[in-house]
Amino acid sequence: MSLLDDTGFSDFKPASLPLDPNVKLNASNGEVLEDTWQYRSLIGRLLYLTIFRPNICFAVNKLSQYISALRTTHLDAVHHVLRYLKAAPSQGLLFLSLSSLIIKAYDDANWRSCAETRMSTTGYCVFLDDFLICWKSKNRIQSLEI
């Protein structure tokens, strides 16, 4: 909540998803962002927040990839993540002392999903009972054109 108060997003309309699925982020769309301090500061705070909010990990990881070539579309996307955090401020990791110690794992892959690099995205998450204990999302090698 302090992040939303500090940035002035506590009064904005909440968003239902961390990233807008209709916005295609790349290094060339939008105007060049002159003042990069705000973006870098927000990404840093959001990276820390991913420890407790793994549901924003993919979005923050994707947005941190553009830190060297910032555009206005990237800043708009960070603002969208802030609006998503406003939608459910109490979401996050909660560990209870009672647990049945059942391990569950899920994985997913998206072949050539990145329009810019044509790389595939894979990911997995592991739960101990109902608690997320491990997760990873990774872009894979480029696919070969034959």
Quote the CA–CA distance of 85 and 130 in Å, as a whole number: 22
Judge whether residue 51 has pLDDT over 90: no
What would the mean pLDDT of 33-55 be, rounded to a whole number? Answer: 83
Q: Within 10 A of 125 (CB to CB), how many other CB atoms are there?
A: 17
Quote the CA–CA distance of 2 and 85 in Å, as a whole number: 11
What would the mean pLDDT of 113-129 be, rounded to a whole number? Answer: 78
Joined together, the tokens standing for residue 43 give 């990404």
pLDDT value of residue 85: 82
Percent of the chain with pLDDT over 70: 75
pLDDT single digits (tens) 14-26? 778 888 888 888 8
What single string gives the DSSP state of each residue in 82-122? HHHHHH-TT-S----S-----EEEEEEEETT--TTT-EEEE
Read off the pTM.
Answer: 0.61
**Weakest-pLDDT range from 38-52, 66-80, 96-110:** 96-110
pLDDT single digits (tens) 80-108? 888 888 777 666 666 566 667 788 999 88
Q: Which of 2-16, 68-82, 107-121 has the highest mean pLDDT?
A: 68-82
Domain boundaries, the chain: 2-87, 103-142
pLDDT value of residue 145: 52
